[in-house]
């Protein structure tokens, strides 16, 4: 019984933390739009911020998940999926592999960052979740892959 109560409390806390993160991220993007006024500049800034996060996050991921070494790009794709599950609670789809096996796509059926997002018409070119691309780039660069 106590285990069920503990899981219920943990689950509700996790949901609240996720919602707080989502709302905070939305506020950050809104502020960037006000500060930069140009959607392309906002996209670059989001990617740069993500890169800086990824550079630092890789150490935490390696310590927490103990994922082992990546021997090829498929291993890297698996680790990216694992990191999304660990930090965002979602599992991305990995697919659209190039014939050479040196490129792939990461897509999200459910994007926790966009859960409450409503973009105005003047932001049609905004890559709202571009921070995630930056995180992946920064983490992979630090892991020397």
Residue 60 structural domain: 2-142
We report the CATH number of the domain holding residue 98 as: 3.30.1380.20
The per-residue pLDDT for 14 is 46
d(CA 34, CA 28) in angstroms, rounded, equals: 10
Half-sphere exposure of 30 (CA within 13 A, CB side): 13
pTM reported for the whole predicted model? 0.83
Report whether pLDDT(3) > 70.
no
Per-residue pLDDT tens digits for 11-29? 444 445 667 777 889 889 9
How many domains does the chain contain in total? 1
Rounded Cα–Cα distance for residues 23 and 134 (Å): 20
CA distance 27 to 145: 32
pLDDT single digits (tens) 102-144: 999 999 998 888 887 888 788 889 999 999 999 999 999 998 8
39-51 per-position pLDDT tens digit: 999 999 999 999 9
């Amino acid at each position: 019984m106590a285990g069920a109560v503990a899981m219920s409390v943990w689950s509700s806390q996790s949901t609240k933390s996720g919602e707080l993160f989502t709302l905070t991220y939305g506020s950050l993007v809104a502020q960037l739009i006000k500060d930069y006024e140009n959607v392309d500049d906002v996209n670059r800034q989001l990617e740069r911020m993500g890169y800086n996060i990824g550079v630092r996050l890789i150490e935490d991921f390696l310590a927490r998940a103990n994922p082992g070494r990546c021997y090829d790009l498929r291993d890297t794709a698996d680790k990216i999926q694992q990191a999304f599950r660990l930090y965002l609670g979602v599992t991305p789809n990995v697919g659209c592999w190039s014939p050479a096996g040196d490129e792939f796509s990461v897509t999200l059926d459910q994007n926790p960052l966009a859960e409450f997002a409503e973009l105005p018409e003047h932001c049609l070119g905004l890559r709202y979740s571009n921070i995630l691309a930056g995180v992946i780039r920064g983490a992979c660069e630090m892991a020397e892959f």
